[in-house]
Structure 1
Amino acid sequence: MVTLSIEFIKSFLSLSVISISFIIKFPQIIRIYKSKSAKGISLFSLCLGICRLSIVGTYNYCHGYSILMYLECPLILFQDSILLYFVLKHNNLLKIDVILLSFLACFIIFMFMVGILPKIILEYIIVICPALNLISRFSQVFKIVQLKNAGAVSLNTWILTSYVAFARVCTHLMDSRDKLLLLNPVTGFLGSISIVFSTLYYQNKVKKSQ
């Protein structure tokens, strides 16, 4: 009975994460599109986040973990790519070398997935993902604090991101004993909730001053 309950909770959390992941970055994309500004969005944070998702998704795939454990990675990665396009565009950084670098990254991921590159390499790379997660999130917090304005940062996106990270902490505890994978959602949750609070603080501060 207890095992069935754990399986039900795990499946519910995984399905909720995947469902949310279909739309998680759209509030942010729509906000930038409407405002025609990427003010407050840290490009450094976004690029680190894309690197981390690529590594985690590829690591899970190559190690044969259940698709429900990491399907959000490609879903969020796709939306982050759209977001990156808008951020680069509004910062006048959409150059040919950036496009070529993106294709190179996709090619490297493909070589891991088909087994041309040995998955043992991922064992070493995955270790840096928790650090990438923290640096990425706190780079965004720093950007908001530096500007003293949340700008185009979407509160809805970061609330959803916090939930996804927290839910993944729970599913990893129930399903996987891979401590390297567990560190990723833990650091992700801590960083995401920090962005939520800093965005709330500066959005309220701007409203009061108006």
Structure 2
Amino acid sequence: MDGNLTLNLANFSTLFVCMVLKFPQIFVLMRARTSAGVSLNSLLLELVGFLVFMSYQMYYDYPPLTYLEYPILIAQDVIVLLLILHYNRNLKHSLIYAALFVGGWQLLTVQKWVIDLAMSLCTFISAGSKLAQLQCLWRSKDSGQVSTLTWGLATYTCMARIFTTAITTADTQVLIRFVVMTVLNMWVTVTVIYYKPHAIKQD
């Protein structure tokens, strides 16, 4: 009973956190009206990783509670993407991205080997997303428009998913992905904090 309670707590807390995970980043972008420090490549890779991971879980009929947050995260990422494109004056590219993502999503489940191959690459894709954000921060040395809270919450959800995956499916590929994502999310969070601009006190 205690094990089920802990599992349900981990599942539902992850779901609830993910429902607002990107909100801090969305609000920061809207307030700043600039996407400086936020990597477009990172966001695109993250979207690809989310689509692959969700498709894999659905294809193998894994319990919905183990991936239910991904449609929510994808929707929030789309909002962030539109904001970045808007502030970069590239909003017209949104149609191209939409066509590519929808087409790619449909292709994922055409054959079993396709989704298996995509999942085997998913960890590298998602890791590439975090590394792209790190590179952007290292280059700009400014994380003023990057939400620390969003990255901190992302770290928690990955840690929770390590636990829920180990209990429910014990899928090695999925576990490895979440372990890698936890480490990289922590790294990004620390980097964001490090590069946060600090107000200079005046006497």
- The Cα of 1:149 is off from its aligned counterpart by 1.1
Identify unmatched segments of 5+ residues in structure 1: none
Query: How far does residue 104 in structure 1 lie from its aligned partner after superposition?
Result: 3.8
Q: Which residue number in structure 1 is paired with residue 37 of structure 2?
A: 40
**Equivalent runs, 1:186-201 vs 2, <5 Å:** 186-201=179-194
Which among 91, 98, 104 is matched to residue 94 of structure 1? 91
| Larger displacement relative to structure 2 (180-189 or 44-53) | 180-189
CA contact (8 A) 1:133 1:191 kept: no
Using the aligned pairs only, state the percent identity. 24
User: Do residues 135 (structure 1) and 128 (structure 2) align?
Assistant: yes
Q: Displacement of 1:111 after TM fit?
A: 5.9
Asked whether 1:61 is paired with 2:88, we answer: no
Q: Distance in 2 between matches of 1:35 and 1:15?
A: 32
1:2-17 matched pairs, under 5 angstroms? 4-17=1-14
How far 1:209 sits from its partner (Å)?
4.9
Which region of structure 1 is more displaced relative to structure 2, 15-24 or 117-126? 117-126
1:75 pairs, out of 72, 83, 90, with 72
Distance 1:197 1:178 in 2: 29
Output the CA distance in 2 between the equivalents of 1:135 and 1:101: 18
Compute the displacement of 1:63 (Å): 0.7
Conservation of the 8 A alpha-carbon contact between 1:6 and 1:174 = no
**What's the CA shift for 1:108?**
4.0
In the TM superposition, structure 1's runs of 4+ consecutive aligned residues that sit over 2 Å from their partners are: 107-112
Matches within 5 A, 1:169-180: 169-180=162-173
| CA distance in 1: counterparts of 2:105 and 2:17, whole angstroms | 24
State the alpha-carbon separation in 1 of the partners of residues 46 and 104 from structure 2.
17
TM-score w.r.t. length of structure 1: 0.90
Paired residue secondary structure (1:207): coil
Deviation digits for residues 102-160 of structure 1 (CA, Å, limit 9, x no counterpart)? 13422442465xx6x12331001101111112111121112112111112000111111
Q: Structure 2: give runs of 5+ residues left out of the alignment.
A: none
**Distance in 1 (alpha carbons) for counterparts of 2:180 and 2:7:** 20
CA distance in 1, matches of 2:98, 2:146: 24
- Conserved in 2, the CA contact under 8 Å of 1:59 and 1:119? no
Which residue in the other structure is 1:106 paired with? 102
Aligned equivalents of 1:143 and 1:209: distance in 2? 24
Question: Please, what TM-score do these two structures have when normalized by structure 2?
Answer: 0.93
Query: How far apart are residue 178 of structure 1 and its match?
Result: 1.1
User: Relative to structure 2, which stretch is displaced further, 78-87 or 170-179?
Assistant: 170-179
